[in-house]
Amino acid sequence: MGKRKCVFAILLMASLVVMAGCTEITANDPIANKTGPTHHQEQTTEKSLKKEDPKQIVVKVIDPRTKSIVRTIQPSEMGFHTDKEKYRKELERWAKELARGTETTPGIDQRMVLDRIDENGQIMKGKPQVILKESELVEKVMEASVNGGEVELPIYVTESGYKPEDIPNLDDVVLSSFSTYFNSGVVGRSKNIELSAQAINNVIVGVNDIFSFNTMVGPGTAENGYQPAKEIINKKLVDGIGGGICQTSSTLFNSIDQLGVKYIEWHNHSLSIGYVPAGRDATVAYGVKDFRFQNTTGVPLLIKTIYGKGKLTVEIRTSAEYQALYAQGH
């Protein structure tokens, strides 16, 4: 009886092992897995379908300042998969409009409005330069058009290149100076010179800052106090509002030109003028022609204008410390 019990126990254990083996085989049996795909399999399938179906690809362009969606692009509808060059040109056109604006919509790009010092020695803040890099935006969207996703607008903001501690000493020394003369008896023209000179007085031009005459002075309109006076338009001397503003811009040019700055925009009059030598003028017309230069001297500058009876002087100043630094570089 002892041997029978032993054999029975061995057979029972063997039976259990076989049953366990059957259970394991059943669990791995393909037939048993027909209950449906796993979550991972579903995700893989969705991704595969998205890649196979270009219509499912979407690119969202985000403004990093507000986190809002500027535009939702469906590459397939714009011809990305059929004519990439045409698609790129359409993106370039859109990026240009977005950066520079249209007749009805302002663009993202913004010229720097330089800071100035008021009568109390306090800083009157302007605005930083804002630039949307158009080519970078186009490349980012092109890359994202393959699989879709989000693209942030490549916006670069540049503050003025000076330090607050520079302010008390920026008018220490005169680096350059230039004067022009006018008939103070011509009231309208004299007033226009005075107003435009005041608009650029005590303006700080930091290192690598770009100065824009039109941005700092604004429109020479009657609403801004400008008066009728003679001005040159299309090689003719005619009456107009704001005549005389160009004498201020030309006086500034002849002063700043002594420092070897980089010119961004500079135009001459169509007729010779009497207050500066031929070819030494800088004509401006708001919204049409501007006088712009970049401060490449390596030191922050301060523009000072001195308006008197029949005379306008523009001085470019800096601190004594920076004067030595400027001298080393020049």
pLDDT surpasses 90 at 278: no
| Strand pairing category for 59-63 and 149-152 | parallel
How many angstroms separate the Cα of 68 from the Cα of each of 59, 64, 74, 151, 227? 14, 8, 18, 11, 45
Of the chain, the percentage scoring pLDDT greater than 70 comes to 80
The pLDDT of residue 296 is above 50: yes
Contacts of 37 (CB under 8 A, 6+ apart): 45
Contact call for residues 210 and 196 (beta carbons, < 8 A): no
Q: In this predicted structure, what is the pLDDT of residue 231?
A: 66
CA distances from 179 to 122, 237, 247, 248 (A): 27, 23, 10, 10
Question: Cβ distance 307 to 194 under 8 Å?
Answer: yes
- Whole-structure pTM value: 0.77
Q: Where residue 29 falls among pLDDT bands split at 50, 70, 90?
A: very low
Q: What is the pLDDT of residues 90-123, one digit of tens each?
A: 999 999 999 999 999 999 999 999 999 998 889 9
Give the dihedral of Cα atoms 67, 70, 75, 76; nearest 10 deg: 110
Strands (E), 126-252: 129-132, 149-152, 155-158, 173-181, 203-205, 210-212, 228-233, 236-241
Q: Give me the residues paired with residue 232 across strands.
A: 237
**Amino acid type, 106:** P
